[in-house]
Amino acid sequence: MAYVNVYIHAVWGTKNRYPYLTSDVKTIVINHIKEYATTKQIHIDCINGASEHLHCLLALNADTSIAKTMNLIKGESAFWINKNKITTLKFEWADEYYAASVSESKLYAIRNYIKNQEEHHRKIQFKEECEYFLKTHSQFQG
């Protein structure tokens, strides 16, 4: 049996940054994502976001890649949202996402960052946050 201890901070947004995730909708979607993740043996440590995106701290299991994990979460949740008419308009996630490994020494800070998304986004827009992540945390800087 393999023992894996890899934490990932993942961020993904709605298509065209449309604010589908009102307070009520966001709560419903987050609860569904957590329930679904359990059925796929994806451990979600914490999840929160704003009207147009979500942040998630998750632990990878031994046989699932980041890409597969994100595909499962995003694909199934969008299907479920539309099937159950959780939003009035057709719901879509953007194709892209951000994912970075998190060291155990930073877990507390990342948990707090995710839990305080509403407050954080009163100060900074999602677009600026994305630009910051890509500029400071990407190996693909130009």
Token duo for residue 48: 């929160």
H or E segment and range at residue 25: helix 23-39
Residue 48: strand pairing partners: 55
Please state the φ and ψ torsions of residue 125, each to the nearest 5 degrees: -80, 155
Average pLDDT (116-126) is 62
Whether 12 has a pLDDT exceeding 60, the answer reads yes
Confidence of residue 78 (pLDDT cuts 50, 70, 90): very high
Average pLDDT of the segment spanning 83-91: 97
Tokens (6 digits) for 16: 């065209």
What lies within 8 Å, CB to CB, of 55 at 6+ separation is 9, 10, 11, 47, 48, 49, 113, 114, 117
pLDDT-based confidence at residue 2 (cuts at 50, 70, 90): confident
Residue 133 confidence class, pLDDT cut points 50, 70, 90: low
Q: What is the SS3 assignment for 75-90?
A: HHHHHHHHHCCCCCCC
Q: Is residue 141 pLDDT above 50, yes or no?
A: no
Question: Are the C-beta atoms of residues 114 and 53 closer than 8 Å to each other?
Answer: no
Distance CA 130, CA 134 (A): 6
- Alpha carbon dihedral 47, 102, 43, 131, in 10-degree steps, equals 40
Cross-strand pairs, 13: 53
**Is the pTM here over 0.95, yes or no?**
no
| Domains delineated in the chain | 6-134 (3.30.70.1290)
Residue range 16-71, pLDDT digits in tens: 999 999 999 999 999 999 999 999 999 999 999 999 999 999 998 888 899 999 99
